[in-house]
Amino acid sequence: MYAALAANLPFSDSAIVLIIATSFITYRIFKRFEPQRPTLVGFLLIVIPSLLVPALHLHVPSLPLSVAITFTLYYCLILLYIAIYRLSPFHPLAKYPGPIKNKLSKFTTSYIVSTGTQHMYFKQLHQRCGDIVRTGPNELSVNCADAVQPILGAGGLQKGPYWSNRDPDGHLPSVLTTTDPVQHKQRRRTWDRAFSTAAIKNYHDIIVRNTRELLGHFEKRAGQQIDFSMWMRHFSFDFMGDIVFGTRFNMMQAGCDVTGVWNMLEAGTALFTTVAHTPWLITYLRFIPGAAKVRTRVFAITEEYVNRRVEQGSNTKDLFYYLTDEEGVESNRPSMPTVQSDGPLAVIAGSDTVATTLTVLWYYFLRNPLIFSRLRDEVDAYFPLGEEPLDFTRMVNMPYLNACINEALRLLPPVMSGSPRYVKPGSRGMMVGPYFVPEGSQVFSHTYTLQRNPRYFSPLPNSFWPDRWLPEQDRHKISSHEEFILDPTAFQPFSFGPASCVGKNLALVELRAVTCFITQRFDFKPKEGFRMESWEEGIEDYFVAKRPALPVVVEVRR
């Protein structure tokens, strides 16, 4: 490259050497310290090459041409150094397979995420490359049950770059995005109390009240076409408004998102997930007018609800009763910025995930009428017609109901691509299952792929077969010669370890209750002409799953 430049341009050796040397030093600074402060980045990428222009201008009469050549050569050399290192055998992750474009940059993953196909993309990578895949310059995806405990379990890895830089200036990270394990443990205590067994019993009446309202809307629309996915969203969002803020969003009553809160949260989640793979981009998006509008609006809306709830105080023991420590358990009550930071998380984590699983359940019931018939027989046996399914304790012991819920969570978990973790620099790396992950690397267990792995779920790993969760004597036989395998360690729809989903138990109570209520009272059939297989193809992965419409005709059971 140097010979070609020297032959065609009037460069002096000193100018060339100076540009090469300074660009290499800049590359090393970025590699070693990963600076993100705009002032320092600006100095390295603008001020330094500007200072190099006079050295070249001595030999190139045109100043604009000197500027263009200096900056182009400076930037191209930095990118060249990066590419050479990331593709070289000296890179710590060099031995792990993966596409070249992924090894070069995380922009590839950001683009894939923006299309909503992240879950399918990673599954296809594992099918081509094996159980461990290099998905970024310093990132690995693992499709191995042995990796779950080392990555997510107690004493495992902490959150890293994927979770950083998400919050607007002046906002604290939520309990989900907190990367410090000590701070996370401290903040998690209030959440654990809010979802303890005793606290969940206080939410039973709210579940019943909202479910009865949902059934009332179904009855009014008997014989009509509805979007089942949309109604599950309305139900779960109203329910979360009740238990989080002690107020109603009235989405079921209005039949739409009258406040615009949901659409804004959904757009914000898609944005956060896309840029999370290149978190330094958020720093510079803040300087572009309107670029961070969705992000800022999400925090503003939820902050408004939080402030209103705190001013009003508690009428019931809702989630913010615990998050604000109104019972006075903590020696230091959480600050308002801390409480406000958890507003968006409380709403979207609790509503979208349940809505997804309920919709997935009925999607598979519509495709498998015999499975739905078996579930209805069980519901009728535990709650005879005329008796509302109000005994939540009884539901825990309904084997086929829980098998159907598990199978829906296995095939299409609400969080399909898992939660990345980080091997801290200076730790000398660690073993993740059978694989060594060097320090400074990000690694995740890809839930969607893992839960369809035939080594852990066989036969029919890609099919809805609830019987796999039943005792052998209760399973309906199928025509398959494959060995039966069910490995619970590979089933992690609520994540795992200290940062697992704190609302898991409430979600299961809600899923059981709503499923029993609807199964007992209603029948559904697909909209005429609707190709059922297209629904699953339309699911998009933006950390939490985004569902397409599921058009069905609702009928009151006769």
Residue 421 domain flag: no
pLDDT at 520: 96
322-355 as b/e: b if 16+ CB within 10 A: bbbbeeeeeeeebeeebbbbbbbbbbbbbbbbbb
Domain closes at, from 57, 87, 117: 87
Residue 289 domain flag: yes
Residue partners of 94: CB distance under 8 A and separation at least 6:
88
pLDDT at 254: 86
Contact 356, 547 (CB under 8 A): yes
First CA to last CA distance, the chain:
80
Residues 63 and 185 in one domain: no
Contact 158, 179 (CB under 8 A): yes
From the CB of residue 554, how many other CB atoms can be counted at a distance below 10 Å?
A: 21
Ramachandran sector of residue 440 (left: φ over 0; alpha: ψ -120 to 50; beta: rest): left
Given the DSSP bridges, would you call strands 225-227 and 435-437 parallel, antiparallel or unpaired? unpaired
pLDDT at 350: 67
141-168 as b/e: b if 16+ CB within 10 A: bbbbbbbbbbbbeeebbbbbbbbbbbbe
pLDDT at 168: 66
Residue 41 domain flag: yes
Residues 198 and 65 in one domain: no
Residues 190 and 82 in one domain: no
pLDDT at 9: 46
Residues 250 and 358 in one domain: yes
Residues 245 and 382 in one domain: yes
Residues 250 and 354 in one domain: yes
Residue 59 domain flag: yes
Split the chain (558 residues) into runs of 10 and give each run's mean pLDDT: 45 78 94 87 94 85 89 96 96 96 94 94 96 96 95 90 75 82 86 90 93 96 95 91 82 80 76 84 71 68 77 78 80 77 71 90 96 97 93 96 98 93 92 94 96 96 96 85 92 92 93 97 94 92 92 93
Which domain does 297 fall in, by range?
Answer: 181-415+493-556
Residue 430 domain flag: no
Domain closes at, from 51, 72, 87: 87
- The residue type found at 283 is T
Residue 157 domain flag: no
Could you identify the residue written with the tokens 């020297």? Answer: 6
From the CB of residue 194, how many other CB atoms can be counted at a distance below 10 Å?
A: 24
Domain closes at, from 46, 67, 87: 87
Residues 83 and 194 in one domain: no
Structurally, how many domains does the chain consist of? 2
pLDDT at 4: 47
Determine whether the annotation assigns residue 76 to a binding site.
Answer: no
Residues 186 and 327 in one domain: yes
Residues 509 and 393 in one domain: yes
Q: Report the C-alpha gap between 126 and 140 in whole angstroms.
A: 11
pLDDT at 344: 67
Residues 387 and 535 in one domain: yes
Residue 504 domain flag: yes
Residue 366 domain flag: yes
Residues 83 and 189 in one domain: no
Instruction: Indicate which CATH number applies to the domain containing 228.
Output: 1.10.630.10
